[in-house]
Amino acid sequence: MTFAIAIVGRPNVGKSTLFNRLAGRRLALVAKEPGLTRDRREAEAEIGGHAVRLIDTAGLEEAGRATIEARMRAQTEAAIAEADAVLFLIDARTGVVAADEVFAELVRTSSKPVILIANKCEGGAGEAGLYDAYRLGLGDPVALSAEHGEGLGELAEAVAALKGEGAPAAPPEEPEALERPLRVAIIGRPNTGKSTMVNALLGEERVITGPEAGITRDAIAIEWRWRDRAILLHDTAGLRRKARVREAPERLSVGDALNAIRFAEVVIVTIDAERPFDKQDLQIADLAASEGRAIVIAVNKWDLVADKRAKRREMVEEVERLLPQIKGVPVVPVSALRRQGLEPLMAAVFEVYRLWNARIPTRALNDWLGEAVARHPPPAVAGRRVKLRYMTQPNARPPTFVLFCSRPQALGEAYRRYLLNGLREAFGFKAVPLRLATRKGENPYAKKR
C-alpha cells in the first residue's frame, strides 16, 4: 500500500494549505478562520519523487465528549492510527503554545514516526518559533512556508529518511533548480536606477524610467529567463527614510517593496556610484539581511566614475567595514544605462543563491566545533565554563544553526560572533546572513549513537 502521512496540529497552523500544496491542487478549503476542516480528506501525492497518501485532518482541540470538536479530534486520532508517519505542524510566527505541547505528547505516544514542521517561516518573522520548536522533543524542525512553497526540498529529504530511501535524484534533463523560478528583487533608494537595470536585464523597455524620483510605485513581478534559467524579477519602489514617507500611495509602495524582499531569494541592493553608502543604503541592506535574504550589491552609474580601480577597492573596503553582518557580499559595478556589468551581476546572483542553499553535514559541523572550542574556549562566567555539546543545521535558506550547550544565556555576544565568523571562514559562507540559536540540552543524538 502507498505510504500514508497524516498532517496534524492545532487549528489554523496551515495544515490544509500544506495539503493543497503537496497534492498540487486545491482540494481542502483554506481561510483565516480556524476550524474550517472537520472531516478527514485524502489525496495521492508525490513528495520529492516519493509516492505518498496524504491525510488532511481537523485542528486538534481539547473539548468535552458531546461536542463537535471532540468528534473532530476522534477523526484526527483515527488518521494518526491509520498513517505510517505524521507531519506535526506548528505556527512559527506564533511559536510553541500550550496546545502544541499537549498534542505533541499525543503524537509522541502514538509511536508513529514524526516530522516536526515549523510553518509560516517565510522571511524572518518565524525564526524565533523555529528555534522554540526544539522544546517539543520531536527532533529537528523543518522550516517551511506552505503558502509560498519554501522548504519543500527539506521536507522531501525528511520523508525519504522515514521511508528508508535515499533522497530523490534530480531528473537528468530538467534539474530541480530549473523547475521553479529564482525570485530576485531589485531594491534601493529612489533614483538609483532600479527600473533602468530591470530594462537592461530584460533587453526591452518593460517598465517606465526617467530622471524623476518615485516613478515606480508597484512591485512589478516579471517572468524572465537568463541563460536558460527561469527567474521571477521584482522591480520595486524606492525606499526612503520612514520620516519622509507621508502620502498614502507611497506608504503602499513601500509596503509592496517590503513584501517583495520577504518573498525574494536573492536581493540586489542598488546604490548610486556617485553617492554610495548613504545611511539609507545601509539600512536597506541590513533589512534584507535581517529577513535572511542572499545579497548582491550593484553599484550603478559606474560609467560616471573616473578612477574605477581605486573606487572599486574603496567600495569593497567600505562594505566590509559597514556591513560586517554579511561579510564577503559581492560588490558589482554596473552601468544599467549602457548595459554594462550585467554578466558579472547575474553570476554573483547565482553564486550567492548557491551559498544560501548550502547545507553542512552534521559530522563536519561538529568536527569544526571541536576545533573552534579547542582554539578558543568559551569564557567562564561566575567561575563556571559554558560547555558546548553539539551543533546541527536544521535549515538552509539562509543557513541556520542550533548550538546545544549547558548555559545558553551565559554565552556572550562576542563568542557568538567568533563562532559565526568561524563558520563563514571554514565553510565559505559569503554574502549570506547566518543564523545561530543556542539551546540548553544534551546532545539530542547521543543515545542513538
Does 365 or 161 have the greater pLDDT score? 365
Domain end: 134, 163, 192, which one? 163
Residues 31 and 49 placed together within one structural domain of the fold: yes
Residue 418, pLDDT above cutoff 80: yes
Residues 181 and 326 placed together within one structural domain of the fold: yes
Report yes or no on 77 lying in a domain. Answer: yes
Q: Binning pLDDT at 50, 70 and 90, where does residue 346 land?
A: very high
Residues 347 and 402 placed together within one structural domain of the fold: no
Segment 236-251 shows an average pLDDT of 54
Report yes or no on 300 lying in a domain. Answer: yes
Report yes or no on 346 lying in a domain. Answer: yes
Residues 91 and 14 placed together within one structural domain of the fold: yes
Report yes or no on 169 lying in a domain. Answer: no
The pLDDT assigned to 114 comes to 92
Residues 335 and 388 placed together within one structural domain of the fold: no
Q: Binning pLDDT at 50, 70 and 90, where does residue 449 land?
A: very low
The DSSP secondary structure of 358-413, one letter per residue, reads ----HHHHHHHHHHHHHHSPPPEETTEEPPEEEEEEEETTTTEEEEEES-GGGS-H
How many C-beta atoms surround the C-beta of residue 299 within 10 A?
25
Residues near 323 by beta carbon (within 8 Å), at least 6 away in sequence = 282, 285, 286, 289, 329
Q: Which of 58-67, 186-195, 304-313, 329-338 is the least confident region?
A: 58-67
Residue 317, pLDDT above cutoff 70: yes
Residues 198 and 260 placed together within one structural domain of the fold: yes
Report the domain count for the chain: 3
Q: Binning pLDDT at 50, 70 and 90, where does residue 403 land?
A: very high
Residues 33 and 76 placed together within one structural domain of the fold: yes
Residues 99 and 140 placed together within one structural domain of the fold: yes
Residues 238 and 387 placed together within one structural domain of the fold: no
Residues 195 and 295 placed together within one structural domain of the fold: yes
Report yes or no on 413 lying in a domain. Answer: yes
Report yes or no on 223 lying in a domain. Answer: yes
Residues 141 and 245 placed together within one structural domain of the fold: no
The pLDDT assigned to 227 comes to 87
The pLDDT assigned to 127 comes to 79
The pLDDT assigned to 304 comes to 93
Q: What is the rounded distance in angstroms from the CA atom of residue 12 to the CA atom of residue 406?
A: 35
Residues 139 and 235 placed together within one structural domain of the fold: no
Report yes or no on 291 lying in a domain. Answer: yes
pLDDT one-digit tens code per residue, 20-37: 888 876 654 444 544 444
CATH of the domain at 387: 3.30.300.20
Domain end: 304, 339, 356, which one? 356
Residue 342, pLDDT above cutoff 90: yes
CATH of the domain at 29: 3.40.50.300
Segment 46-56 shows an average pLDDT of 85
The pLDDT assigned to 249 comes to 41
Q: What percent of the chain has pLDDT over 70?
A: 80
pLDDT one-digit tens code per residue, 108-155: 888 889 999 999 887 667 777 888 888 888 888 898 888 888 888 888
Where in the sequence is the domain holding 243, given as residue range(s)? Answer: 177-356
Domain end: 356, 391, 417, which one? 356
How many C-beta atoms surround the C-beta of residue 403 within 10 A?
19
Question: How are beta strands 3-8 and 435-440 bridged, if at all?
Answer: unpaired
The pLDDT assigned to 168 comes to 44
Report yes or no on 426 lying in a domain. Answer: yes
Segment 297-314 shows an average pLDDT of 93
Q: What is the rounded distance in angstroms from the CA atom of residue 333 to the CA atom of residue 302?
A: 6
Segment 434-443 shows an average pLDDT of 79
Residue 40, pLDDT above cutoff 80: no
